[in-house]
């Protein structure tokens, strides 16, 4: 209705009037043709334009994945340079579109562009800029690597980092100045542009994940072959090259790349989520209610202290793990054991925190905020969906431990660790969801500067209804304003104003829990992101599922788990502000 | 609000009153404890109960998949009997829950149970009953197979079919008499029961898919080894057994099973979708607007005739393909070529039909029905999501064809066929989505007996808002009744009553297109469901991606594609009724 309704009715009336006055069939044919032409060029229905561009984006992605699969094969007939050439083409296309978009906006500077104030926060943009800078460092390393091996590398290995660097700079500029735009002209075309940008970033993410997985696999295979004397051929990550002069610097670049991968990966997945929000916003009408958030930090002691302790010990465990895992068999086994024991302790404390939070909610009963809020729903769905990877890993481990004949020391700690991983995600998801869905009257009254429904932090927060593309006037609830609902809430919970003290105590506990969980989730991101992946090193699951099946599972589940940890940090930060 | 609001307020008031009158801290402690106990036992918030049970269901599913992965390994340390035992346990649990549920409903016969009239149609229940009967035949074959090999098979191979048969009978009874129930008592417990039933069926579906894939793989490997003299060991599907007397009948049973697999697989996936609707309905308030649908069939000629022709020729192609694929290399290649050429012709006609339908919509412009209808949204999302499998297959084929050195005759027909598959799904999805989202005023006036928004056919049709679990009073739009909206529509399109003839012509064309597409989609379900899978037989993709990677892709994508075809038949049937 909203998008093309206005045009429609006037147009249709015009058509109807003219068709009733003229009755000759050739005239009518001409008119139908004209009408067809007009409709094809101009106002394509919004819902269909969404699917039209969405299907284009998905197919782009699937082509990329198909090429990656061909590259990753045992005896690849498709080379990595082909893949890089394909991705480079996509980036160039995106660059052209962004340039065109920016120029168009420059030219129309006078007409006010509608903006979605909730689309990002300066916090997120700052974090993305840092990640982008690290990506630029990575690109410079790539160029350095190419210079070292230039005699025997395809030219695409030089073109790719240059285009990627340009792409990164242009994209950061776009994120700073245009990501909040609500596109209202040339909607169907812009939809294609934005979804192209989304899936280009998703493919770059996939490419990063693949490179990282390959690197891990090579390390893993090297370790296996050197220690257990299994006869698996080592695939060298460096090209066979005659030039001996440059190899030392280039190897340095190649080693440096490894530590920059995790940041580049997170950069691309975050950008694609932001661009997806922009895509969803195209053609929407945004109600501009600017909210300001103030985060209160008083009374926070135990949570941050415990959290920082966890973070510090995690970094220690990470360093010990990485150094010991390169050693002899006993050292490796002790490293794995250490990891599991450390994990069990941390996860147990996290489970306990989440359970306490949930118990506090049960004791302090309050109806859920049942108002329609699609952003929140998307957040919880992403949380739920990205848990699947890690849950699947854990259950595979449980099945493997129960079936194996191996007598390694960490067999049962692995079982306990896996069950704790499942339990921790189960409880943490429940805790986050309940926190996000609870009504907030109480907070409002004690902190009048806090907004009622503060969703600003969430990267997906701008997807307020009508997020689904179906615009429904009924959402606006003309007979029940927010003020009236607040009134109702105040009536229902007036009595709670009396016991002020215990409520604040509860809020303080919840805030501490949230901070602690944020630190723990950062720790659990750090460990796998920088190479602490006992699933590769313990050998239990690999025995049961076979090398190729198990590494496939890991290559699918670990990136999903990394995304889960990042996303839960963002969600927990919102929880921290709301409670 | 809706679910636990009533209880809350009265309870809370009581608590507040008592807490303000008594000030001793031990008294208050006791009260908090009581309150906690009450909250834990009774009115768990609805949103959280959904996630609580949803997470349970997903984890159940993941355990099952982990066990399956272990069974499917190269040197399985987990045997198939373990998997069957696990699934049998789940079925027994579901049986106990269903029995308990039915008995409870029997005892409370006097209190009226709310029912969701849109949950299923008699058409769907009838189809499911037929599928269930075929599943029972399959179980009897399984029992016969066990009797033949009883001396060397684990007892679980007898227990499994008996439990499965009992489960099927009980479940069909449940579907007939209770699937429309809207549960209002013991909600959290019932949620666990229903989600357990959903994922038990999903696991049975996975198990069926795995058995079928295994059977295909065995056939495929046998063919490869007999023809191309590759040295792959043949895995016999029959156990090594000393008893020679019974093997002939048992082999007959085992061969018969193969033809019953596709029906059993469709049965389980459909039941799980229906149960999922029931799960979503728990605790909802259903507005009871009984609709009756009348399907008009006058003026349908070209669509059904072309469709039946397609169906008949498909069956012919299927039979020829299956017989020739067992022959020598030339015969196999000619069978694959024949399949691709036939596919290209059929898909080209389908693309043309869809494009014509879309052009008719463009010429006959009408705003989309932007009212909130989550059922429709879920339908389109399922359509979109299940397209992914087949799109991915096609793009893999395209990449393989472009990279291969092979000179087989069907190299380029494979490319054209793959691109047509992508294009056909692209256009068909757009056509279905536009058909479901268009306003229907016109239809109403010419066929007053047709309802305005007829979603009855769709299996997910009962998920009207508040499907998402967030109950929003605003949905009910008190200031704008459906009648008023119809009035608006009538005003806007009054002029269209004059050119009655061309509109009816358009509707007729659209109806014919829908019928034709239904038949084509049934054909495209039949071909892979009964063994026509050239992706296994053409060898092109296998060369590029390697045997294991490519069969993994196929095992994931083909079941998804089968579901897509079934679901698009259901959606197109709805389109047929709406246009």
What is d(CA B184, CA B458) in angstroms, rounded to the nearest whole number? 24
Question: What proportion of chain B, given as a percentage, has pLDDT over 70?
Answer: 73
Q: Which of A59, A69, A472 is nearest residue B549 as measured by Cβ atoms?
A: A69
Query: Measured in Å, how far apart are chain B's first and last C-alpha atoms?
Result: 38
Hey, is the C-beta of B470 within 8 angstroms of any chain A C-beta?
A: yes
A21-39 residue pLDDT tens: 444 555 655 655 555 544 4
Confidence of residue A523 (pLDDT cuts 50, 70, 90): very high
Instruction: Report, as an integer, the average pLDDT of B57-68.
Output: 92
What is d(CA B355, CA B430) in angstroms, rounded to the nearest whole number? 9
B395 contacts on A by Cβ (under 8 Å): 59, 62-63, 65-66
Examine the pLDDT at A356 and tell me if it is beyond 80.
yes
> Nearest 10 degrees: CA dihedral of A565, A571, A573, A578?
-160
CB spacing of B493 vs A552 below 8 angstroms: no
- From residue B69, give the alpha-carbon distance in Å to each of A400, A546, B223: 10, 10, 25
**CA-closest candidate to residue A221, choices A230, A208, A210, A209:** A230
* CA distance to partner chain B, nearest, from residue A455 (Å): 17
Q: Which of B391, B471, B473 is nearest residue A59 as measured by Cβ atoms?
A: B391
Hey, is the C-beta of A490 within 8 angstroms of any chain B C-beta?
A: no
Q: Which of B72, B362, B399 is nearest residue A40 as measured by Cβ atoms?
A: B362
A206-238 residue pLDDT tens: 998 888 888 888 877 877 777 655 444 444 455
Confidence of residue B449 (pLDDT cuts 50, 70, 90): very low
Distance of CA B13 to the CA centre of its chain: 47
Confidence of residue A243 (pLDDT cuts 50, 70, 90): low
B164-220 residue pLDDT tens: 999 999 999 998 888 888 887 788 888 999 999 999 999 999 998 888 888 888 877
CB spacing of A426 vs B55 below 8 angstroms: yes
pLDDT of residue B181: 82
Q: Which of B51, B365, B388 is nearest residue A430 as measured by Cβ atoms?
A: B51
Q: Which of B367, B370, B426 is nearest residue A8 as measured by Cβ atoms?
A: B367
Lookup result for tokens 């989609």: B521
- How many alpha carbons fall within 13 Å on the CB side of residue B296? 16
Asked if A518 contacts A297 with a C-beta cutoff of 8 angstroms, the reply is: no
Q: Which residues contact B329 (CB under 8 A, 6 or more apart)?
A: B227, B228
pLDDT of residue B483: 42
B1-20 residue pLDDT tens: 333 333 333 343 444 444 44
**What is the C-alpha radius of gyration for chain B, rounded to an integer number of angstroms?**
27
CB pairs under 8 A between A and B: 260
Selected for mutation to probe chain A from B70, B397, B509, B554 (highest A CB count within 10 Å) is B70
CB spacing of B371 vs A12 below 8 angstroms: no
CB spacing of A47 vs B433 below 8 angstroms: yes
What is d(CA A415, CA A396) in angstroms, rounded to the nearest whole number? 10
* CA distance to partner chain B, nearest, from residue A137 (Å): 33
* CA distance to partner chain B, nearest, from residue A528 (Å): 21
Q: Which of A2, A392, A544 is nearest residue B73 as measured by Cβ atoms?
A: A544
Hey, is the C-beta of B48 within 8 angstroms of any chain A C-beta?
A: yes
A543 contacts on B by Cβ (under 8 Å): 77
Examine the pLDDT at A542 and tell me if it is beyond 50.
yes
| Stronger pLDDT, A124 or B383, i.e. the higher one | B383
CB spacing of A69 vs B553 below 8 angstroms: yes
* CA distance to partner chain B, nearest, from residue A6 (Å): 10
Selected for mutation to probe chain A from B3, B367, B393, B485 (highest A CB count within 10 Å) is B367
Selected for mutation to probe chain A from B397, B545, B547, B560 (highest A CB count within 10 Å) is B545
Lookup result for tokens 């082509």: A63
Hey, is the C-beta of A473 within 8 angstroms of any chain B C-beta?
A: yes
CB spacing of A365 vs B35 below 8 angstroms: yes
Would you call B523 exposed, middle or buried from its count of C-beta atoms within 10 A (0-12, 13-18, 19+)? buried
The sign of the torsion formed by the CA atoms of A523, A525, A531, A532 equals positive
Would you call B558 exposed, middle or buried from its count of C-beta atoms within 10 A (0-12, 13-18, 19+)? buried
Query: Measured in Å, how far apart are chain A's first and last C-alpha atoms?
Result: 38
Asked if B450 contacts B574 with a C-beta cutoff of 8 angstroms, the reply is: no
Hey, is the C-beta of A471 within 8 angstroms of any chain B C-beta?
A: yes
| Token pair belonging to A72 | 């990753």
Confidence of residue B32 (pLDDT cuts 50, 70, 90): low
Q: Which of B51, B70, B377 is nearest residue A399 as measured by Cβ atoms?
A: B70
- Burial annotation A484-508 (CB, 10 A radius, 16+ → b, else e): ebbeebeebbeebeeeeeebeebbb
CB spacing of A398 vs B63 below 8 angstroms: yes
What is d(CA B333, CA B336) in angstroms, rounded to the nearest whole number? 5
- From residue B494, give the alpha-carbon distance in Å to each of A17, A27, B483, B579: 11, 22, 16, 18
CB spacing of B477 vs A480 below 8 angstroms: no
- Burial annotation B401-428 (CB, 10 A radius, 16+ → b, else e): bebbeeeeebbebbbbbbbbbbbbbbbb
B241-279 residue pLDDT tens: 655 555 677 777 777 787 888 888 889 988 888 888 888
B542-555 residue pLDDT tens: 888 888 888 888 88
| Stronger pLDDT, A373 or B298, i.e. the higher one | B298
Residues B299, B305, B308: CA angle, nearest 5 degrees: 135
What is d(CA A253, CA A246) in angstroms, rounded to the nearest whole number? 11
Asked if B358 contacts B434 with a C-beta cutoff of 8 angstroms, the reply is: yes
Selected for mutation to probe chain B from A470, A484, A494, A557 (highest B CB count within 10 Å) is A470
What is d(CA B320, CA B304) in angstroms, rounded to the nearest whole number? 24
Q: Which of B370, B433, B546 is nearest residue A1 as measured by Cβ atoms?
A: B370
Can you give the length of chain B in residues?
579
> Which residues 204-263 of chain B have a CB within 8 Å of chain A?
none
**CA-closest candidate to residue A98, choices A317, A284, A271:** A271
Hey, is the C-beta of B59 within 8 angstroms of any chain A C-beta?
A: yes
Confidence of residue B99 (pLDDT cuts 50, 70, 90): very high
Three-state secondary-structure class, residue B533: coil
Asked if B558 contacts B389 with a C-beta cutoff of 8 angstroms, the reply is: yes
Asked if B127 contacts B522 with a C-beta cutoff of 8 angstroms, the reply is: no
Hey, is the C-beta of A14 within 8 angstroms of any chain B C-beta?
A: no
Lookup result for tokens 């916003």: A281
What is d(CA B563, CA B528) in angstroms, rounded to the nearest whole number? 11
| Token pair belonging to A125 | 């943009």
What is d(CA B174, CA B128) in angstroms, rounded to the nearest whole number? 12
Q: What is the mean pLDDT of chain B?
A: 76
Asked if B179 contacts B274 with a C-beta cutoff of 8 angstroms, the reply is: yes
Which range has the worst mean pLDDT, A61-65, B122-126, B348-352, B469-473? B469-473
Confidence of residue B458 (pLDDT cuts 50, 70, 90): very low
Examine the pLDDT at A106 and tell me if it is beyond 70.
yes
Selected for mutation to probe chain A from B22, B66, B481 (highest A CB count within 10 Å) is B66
CB spacing of A495 vs B52 below 8 angstroms: no
Which residue is closest to A482 within chain B, CA to CA? B474
User: If you write DSSP's letter for every residue of A18-77 in order, what string do you get?
Assistant: HHHH---HHHHHHHHHHHHHHHHHS---HHHHHHHHHHHHHHHHHHHHHHHHHHTSSS-S
Asked if A400 contacts B70 with a C-beta cutoff of 8 angstroms, the reply is: yes
**CA-closest candidate to residue A511, choices A429, A575, A424:** A575
Confidence of residue B467 (pLDDT cuts 50, 70, 90): very low
Hey, is the C-beta of A476 within 8 angstroms of any chain B C-beta?
A: yes
Cis geometry, peptide bond prior to residue B164 (ω within 30 degrees of 0): no
Distance of CA A97 to the CA centre of its chain: 23
A67 contacts on B by Cβ (under 8 Å): 399
Which range has the worst mean pLDDT, A49-58, B125-134, B333-342, B479-488? B479-488
- From residue A407, give the alpha-carbon distance in Å to each of A333, A338, A420, B7: 12, 17, 22, 55
CB spacing of B365 vs A474 below 8 angstroms: no
Instruction: Report, as an integer, the average pLDDT of A338-361.
Output: 94
pLDDT of residue B217: 80
B468 contacts on A by Cβ (under 8 Å): 372, 377
* CA distance to partner chain A, nearest, from residue B428 (Å): 11
pTM score = 0.75
| Stronger pLDDT, A535 or B95, i.e. the higher one | B95
Hey, is the C-beta of B18 within 8 angstroms of any chain A C-beta?
A: no
**CA-closest candidate to residue A82, choices A188, A156, A182:** A156
Examine the pLDDT at A298 and tell me if it is beyond 80.
no
**CA-closest candidate to residue B558, choices B226, B95, B215, B103:** B215
User: If you write DSSP's letter for every residue of A280-341 in order, what string do you get?
Assistant: HHTT--------------TT--HHHHHHHHHHHHHHHHHHHHHHHTTS-HHHHHHHHHHHHH
pLDDT of residue A241: 60
Q: Which residues contact B541 (CB under 8 A, 6 or more apart)?
A: B396, B397, B400, B535, B550
Compute how many other C-beta atoms are within 10 angstroms of the C-beta atom of residue B15: 18
CB spacing of A9 vs B480 below 8 angstroms: no
Three-state secondary-structure class, residue A181: strand
A422 contacts on B by Cβ (under 8 Å): 59
DSSP letter for B151, please: G
B277-336 residue pLDDT tens: 888 878 777 655 444 445 566 677 888 899 999 999 999 999 999 888 888 888 888 999
pLDDT of residue B424: 95
Q: Which of A16, A51, A392 is nearest residue B430 as measured by Cβ atoms?
A: A51
| Token pair belonging to B553 | 């892709």
Instruction: Report, as an integer, the average pLDDT of A352-370.
Output: 84
What is d(CA B367, CA B437) in angstroms, rounded to the nearest whole number? 9
A426-466 residue pLDDT tens: 999 999 988 888 876 444 444 444 343 333 334 443 333 33
Q: Which of B387, B395, B475 is nearest residue A66 as measured by Cβ atoms?
A: B395
| Token pair belonging to B408 | 């087989």
CB spacing of A66 vs B396 below 8 angstroms: yes
């Amino acid at each position: 209705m909203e998008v093309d309704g206005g045009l429609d009715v006037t147009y249709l009336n015009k058509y109807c009037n003219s068709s009733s006055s003229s009755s000759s069939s050739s005239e009518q044919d001409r008119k139908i043709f004209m009408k067809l032409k007009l409709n094809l060029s101009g106002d394509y229905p919004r819902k269909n334009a969404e699917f039209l561009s969405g299907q284009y984006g998905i197919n782009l992605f699937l082509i990329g994945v198909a090429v990656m699969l061909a590259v990753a094969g045992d005896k690849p007939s498709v080379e990595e340079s082909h893949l890089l050439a394909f991705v480079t083409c996509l980036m160039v296309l995106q660059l052209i579109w962004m340039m065109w978009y920016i120029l168009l906006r420059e030219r129309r500077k006078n007409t006010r562009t509608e903006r979605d104030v909730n689309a990002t926060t300066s916090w997120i943009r700052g974090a993305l800029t840092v990640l982008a800078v690290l990506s630029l460092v990575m690109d410079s390393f790539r160029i350095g690597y190419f210079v070292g091996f230039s005699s025997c590398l395809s030219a695409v290995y030089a073109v790719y980092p240059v285009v990627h660097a340009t792409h990164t700079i242009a994209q950061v500029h776009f994120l700073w100045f245009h990501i909040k735009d609500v596109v209202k002209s040339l909607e169907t075309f812009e939809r294609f542009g934005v979804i192209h940008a989304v899936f280009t970033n998703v493919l770059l993410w996939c490419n990063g994940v693949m490179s990282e997985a390959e690197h891990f696999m090579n390390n893993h295979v090297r370790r296996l072959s050197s220690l257990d004397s299994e006869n698996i051929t080592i695939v060298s990550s460096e090209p066979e090259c005659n030039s001996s002069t440059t190899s030392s610097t280039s190897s340095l670049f190649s080693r440096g790349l490894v530590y920059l991968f995790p940041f580049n990966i997170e950069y691309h997945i975050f950008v694609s989520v932001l661009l997806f929000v922009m895509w969803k916003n195209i053609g929407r009408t945004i109600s501009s209610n600017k909210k300001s958030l103030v985060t209160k930090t008083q009374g926070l002691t135990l949570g941050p202290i415990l959290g920082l302790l966890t973070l510090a010990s995690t970094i220690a465990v990470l360093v010990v793990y990485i150094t010991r895992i390169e050693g002899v068999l006993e050292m490796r086994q002790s490293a794995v054991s250490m990891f599991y024991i450390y994990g069990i302790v941390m996860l147990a404390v996290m489970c306990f925190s989440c359970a306490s939070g949930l118990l506090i909610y049960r004791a302090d009963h309050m109806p859920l905020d049942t108002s329609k809020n699609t952003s929140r729903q998307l957040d919880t769905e992403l949380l739920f969906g990205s848990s699947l990877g890690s849950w699947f890993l854990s259950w595979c481990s449980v099945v493997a431990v129960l079936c194996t004949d191996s007598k390694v020391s960490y067999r049962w700690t692995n079982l306990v660790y896996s069950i704790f991983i499942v339990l921790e995600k189960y409880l943490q998801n429940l805790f986050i969801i309940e926190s996000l869905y609870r009504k907030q009257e109480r907070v409002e009254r004690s902190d009048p500067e806090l907004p009622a429904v503060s969703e600003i932090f969430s990267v997906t927060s701008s997807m307020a209804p009508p997020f689904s593309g179906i615009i429904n006037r009924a959402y606006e609830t003309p007979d029940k304003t927010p003020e009236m609902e607040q009134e109702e809430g105040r009536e229902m919970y007036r009595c709670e104003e009396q016991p002020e003290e215990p409520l604040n105590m509860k809020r303080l506990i919840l805030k501490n829990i949230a901070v602690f969980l944020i630190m723990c989730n950062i720790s659990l991101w750090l460990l796998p992101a920088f190479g602490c992946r006992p699933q590769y090193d313990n050998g239990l699951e690999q025995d049961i599922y076979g090398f190729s099946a198990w590494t496939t599972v890991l290559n699918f589940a670990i990136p999903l788990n990394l995304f889960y940890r990042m996303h839960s940090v963002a969600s927990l930060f919102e929880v921290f502000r709301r409670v």
